[in-house]
A and B are shown apart, each in its own frame.
Chain A
Amino acid sequence: MSASIYSNSQFTDSPYGLKLQRTITATGTTSITDIPAGIQRVYAIVIGGGGAGSTQTTGGGGGGGAGGYSAGWTYISTSVTVGAGGTGTSTSAAGASGGSSIYGMVMAGGGAGGANGTAGGAAAGATTVTAVTSSVSYTGASASTNTIGYASGSSGGGAGLAGVSTSGGQGATGVTGTQTGNAGGRGLITGGGGAVGTSGTGTGGAGGTGDFFAGGTGSSGTGTSFGGGGGGAGYTSDGSNASGKNGGNGGSGGGGGGGASTAGTAGSGGNGVVYIYY
Chain B
Amino acid sequence: MAIKYEYSSECCSHYYIETRNNDDAQVITKCNICGQGEYIETSRTEIESITEPVYQAVVEAQPEDVAVE
Query: Contact residues of A with B, CB < 8 Å?
Result: 19-32, 40, 75-81, 102, 104, 236, 252, 273
Query: Does B57 lie within 8 Å of A75, measured CB to CB?
Result: yes
- A-B CB proximity, top 10 nearest: A26-B2, A25-B20, A24-B19, A79-B53, A31-B48, A23-B18, A22-B17, A75-B57, A20-B32, A78-B56
**Complex contact B28–A24 (CB within 8 A):** no
Interface contact B27-A236, CB-CB below 8 Å: yes
The reply to whether the CB of B54 lies closer than 8 angstroms to some CB of chain A is yes
Query: By the criterion CB–CB under 8 Å, are A27 and B57 in contact?
Result: no
Residue contact B55 to A78, C-beta cutoff 8 Å:
yes
Which applies to chain A's interface (DSSP): helix, strand, loop or mixed?
strand
Q: Contacts of A30 on B, CB cut-off 8 Å?
A: 2, 19, 47-50
Interface residues of chain B, those whose CB is within 8 Å of chain A, are: 2-3, 14-21, 24, 27-28, 32-33, 47-58
Contact A25–B47 (Cβ < 8 Å): no
In the complex, what distance in Å separates the CA atom of A273 from the CA atom of B20?
A: 10
Alpha-carbon distance A79/B19, docked complex (angstroms)? 12
A29 vs B52: C-alpha distance in the bound complex, in angstroms? 7
User: Main secondary structure on chain B at its contact with chain A?
Assistant: loop
Contact A25 B24 (CB under 8 A): yes
Chain A nearest CB from B40 CB (Å) reads 16
Starting from the known contacts A23-B20, A104-B55, 17 additional A-B residue pairs (CB-CB under 8 Å) come to A19-B14, A22-B16, A22-B17, A24-B19, A24-B20, A25-B24, A26-B3, A29-B49, A29-B51, A31-B49, A75-B55, A75-B56, A77-B54, A78-B54, A79-B50, A79-B53, A102-B53
Establish whether residues B50 and A25, one from each chain, have CB atoms under 8 Å apart when the complex forms.
no
**Cα–Cα distance between A183 and B33 once the two chains are bound (Å):** 36
Chain A contacts for B2, CB-based, 8 A: 26, 28, 30
Known: A19-B14, A30-B2, A236-B27. A77 touches B53 (CB 8 A): yes
Q: Is A26 touching B21 in the complex (CB atoms < 8 A)?
A: yes
Check B55 against A77 for contact (C-beta < 8 Å).
Answer: yes
Q: Are A19 and B32 in contact (CB under 8 A)?
A: yes
Interchain CB contact under 8 A, A77 and B21:
no
Complex: A273 Cα to B2 Cα, angstroms: 14
